[in-house]
Amino acid sequence: MGTRYSNITLQGVSQSELVAYLSDTGLDAYVSPTIDRYTVLYDVASTGYPEAIPLSIQREENLQDLLCQYKDGQKAVAICLSSHLSKKFSCSVLAVCATSSLTLWYHLSQNGLMLDEYLTEADRHWKPGRMLNETGNGTIKGGDAKKICNAFSKEDAISQVEIILTQPIESFDSMTRHTALAKALSIHPSWVVGMNFLCCTGEDDFEAHYEANCDESDPTSDEALTLVKGTLPKVGSRLI
């Protein structure tokens, strides 16, 4: 199956706030506990079901245009949801997607607007906010360390993030890069690296991804999964 996952991290929005909103809108997703002001969303739409996004959000964020523009439903869904949620909660939102062991992409939005976009394997025509073509030629494009650090009030990490974003893919695979970026932004990597909706349903390996990055002080993988799955009954009925 290889490396393929995506999730969306919100700053300053609690698990209970996010679950309540998702329940009201009918968006099917699991939600992590809130740790250090970060909460992570694992949505079903990004697993190949863009139609699972409520129609009101699809229309508001022009999902059909995004699907045409990005040629990749996973990323189009991530942009649609992160833009909407950053606007709804007036916060910074980081959508991350890894599509191979070398390819890492992120989309940073704040208050409904894109601040930054990043891709480790892009063709010469790629620009942030433009059509996404992955060619496997190893060209890193986008990624503004100052913008992403300012968005999450981590100005002291700008130099560190700059190094992380510019490391050549030959020496920095997608999950290693994501782990380093998460740590630099004070996002617990155990909740984001390798994690997606399928990990929560048992179709992917929650335990392996979580334990690869958890600390001794963190909940066990069983406890962590229980905390996430506890959001399920409060969210959309299609998951039950």
pLDDT of residue 2: 58
pLDDT of residue 136: 54
**Quick check: helix, strand or coil at residue 184?**
helix
Are residues 83 and 109 in contact, defined by beta-carbon separation less than 8 angstroms?
yes
Taking every pair of Cα atoms in the chain, the longest distance, rounded to a whole number of angstroms, is 46
Beta strands in the chain (DSSP E): 5-11, 29-31, 38-43, 92-98, 104-110, 113-119, 141-142
Mean pLDDT by 10 residues, the chain (240 residues): 85 97 92 97 92 93 87 88 97 95 95 95 79 65 97 98 94 94 97 96 94 92 94 52
**Quick check: helix, strand or coil at residue 209?**
helix
Unique residue bearing structure tokens 């039950």: 240
Rounded Cα distance between 200 and 41, Å, is: 11
Unique residue bearing structure tokens 């245009």: 65
pLDDT of residue 1: 46
**Quick check: helix, strand or coil at residue 42?**
strand
pLDDT of residue 236: 46
Q: How far is CA 166 from CA 100, 126, 139, 144, 161, in A?
A: 18, 16, 10, 10, 9
pLDDT of residue 238: 45
Question: Which of these, 94, 72, 23, lies nearest to 31 by C-alpha position?
Answer: 23
- Cα four-point dihedral sign 180, 182, 183, 188: negative
pLDDT of residue 186: 97
Looking at 31-102, list the stretches that DSSP marks H as alpha helix, in order from N- to C-terminal side.
55-60, 63-70, 73-88
Domain ranges within the chain, ordered by starting residue? 5-239
pLDDT of residue 135: 56
Looking at the DSSP bridge assignments, the partners of residue 31 are 41
pLDDT of residue 237: 43
